[in-house]
A and B are shown apart, each in its own frame.
Chain A
Amino acid sequence: MSTRIDDDILACLPHLRAFARSLTGNRDRADDLVQDAVLRALSAASQFTPGTNFKAWIFTILRNLYFNEFRRNRAFMRPLETADLETHATAPAQQAGLEFDDFRRAFGTLPAEQREALVLVGADGFRYEEAAAICGCPIGTIKSRVARARGEIERLLGVGGRDPDAAAQTGRETMPRRVSARAGRQRQ
């Protein structure tokens, strides 16, 4: 464990950016959010208890900044629009790229609370209790948000009966239902 907060922050930066991007859907807004979170963490460094989970601590700072901005300006939290969702530029095949874009669009239609729950648990590897602490809610709420997020994405993409391992062996996956840019509604 580093004794210097800047080393801890540096190690977390890529993940902070990814988490911020999942919340804002926009590269520039996400990086602005990360800068604000880093500055806030530096100014509040004395409040961090050494030996505890630094990543969870700074993630909490970032998500609180994001949702505080939401309370001040709901327009800031508009549904992630297609223009904000950057195209997956490194897809090995056009089919995979289109499918990934469909997933991005479906993900972007989710409410912010569901997006953060899905990312914290599904991508960042936080346990449910850690994700609940970051989001300031009960564990059951996090589990519910993750389940609803998964269910909504499955509904939008028509995911069913696919075997990721078999698809990887054959080199292609079943094309999910295309998601229009207007699919889903912003729900809180």
Chain B
Amino acid sequence: MTDKRNRADTGTGKDRARPDEPRKRARNGLDERWLEKKVHDMYQEVVNEPVPDDILKILNRIPKLS
């Protein structure tokens, strides 16, 4: 009879928690916020620029409706 207690552990790790998994998930969450902030900052930099007159002139040509 095979002594299962002496069998080598051939588990792939899927059925036991990996010690680095909680840290990895937390790190991904923090990185997402950092990336979103960088994307937002890059975007807002342009939003805060004055709109060029060339573009505004297009709208100024529209007849004003009463």
Neighbouring B residues of A38 by C-beta, 8 Å: 55, 58-59
- CB-based contact B55/A31 at 8 Å: yes
In angstroms, Cα B52 to Cα A103, docked, is 26
Q: What chain A residues lie within 8 Å of B41 (beta carbons)?
A: 100
Which residue of B is nearest A124, CB measured?
B43
Q: How does the 8 Å CB contact mask read for A95-114 relative to B, with 1 for contact and 0 for none?
A: 00000100110010000000
- Contacts A162-B30, A162-B34, A164-B30 given; does A13 touch B43 at CB 8 Å: no
Q: Interface residues of A: mostly helix, strand, loop or mixed? A: helix
A26 CB to nearest chain B CB (Å): 12
A4 contacts B65, CB within 8 Å?
yes
Interface size class of B (residues with CB under 8 A): 20 to 34
Label chain B's interface by main secondary structure.
helix
Does B33 sit within 8 A of A, measured CB to CB?
yes
By the criterion CB–CB under 8 Å, are A159 and B34 in contact?
Answer: yes
A164-B33 contact in complex given A4-B65, A17-B51, A35-B58, C-beta closer than 8 Å? yes
Given A100-B41, A123-B42, the answer on whether A150 and B32 have CB atoms closer than 8 Å is: yes
| Known A6-B62, A159-B31; contact A17-B47, beta-carbon cutoff 8 A | yes
Query: Which residues of B sit under 8 angstroms from A13, Cβ to Cβ?
Result: 51, 55-56
Q: How many residues of A contact B (CB 8 A)?
A: 38
Say yes or no: A35 contacts B54, CB within 8 Å.
Answer: yes
8 A Cβ contacts from B19-66 to A = 27, 30-49, 51-52, 54-56, 58-59, 62, 65
A88 proximal to B (CB < 8 A): yes
Residues of B within 8 A of A15 (CB): 47
- Is A181's beta carbon under 8 Å from chain B? no
Residue of A nearest to B50 (CB): A14
| Interchain CB contact (< 8 A) of A153 among B35, B44, B58 | B35
Interchain residue pairs A-B with the least CB separation, the first 10? A123-B43, A18-B46, A122-B39, A14-B47, A103-B38, A6-B59, A18-B43, A122-B36, A6-B62, A123-B39
Given contacts A15-B47, A164-B33, A173-B34, 14 further A-B contacts (CB under 8 A): A4-B65, A13-B56, A14-B46, A17-B47, A17-B51, A31-B52, A35-B55, A39-B58, A100-B42, A123-B42, A123-B44, A154-B35, A159-B35, A160-B31
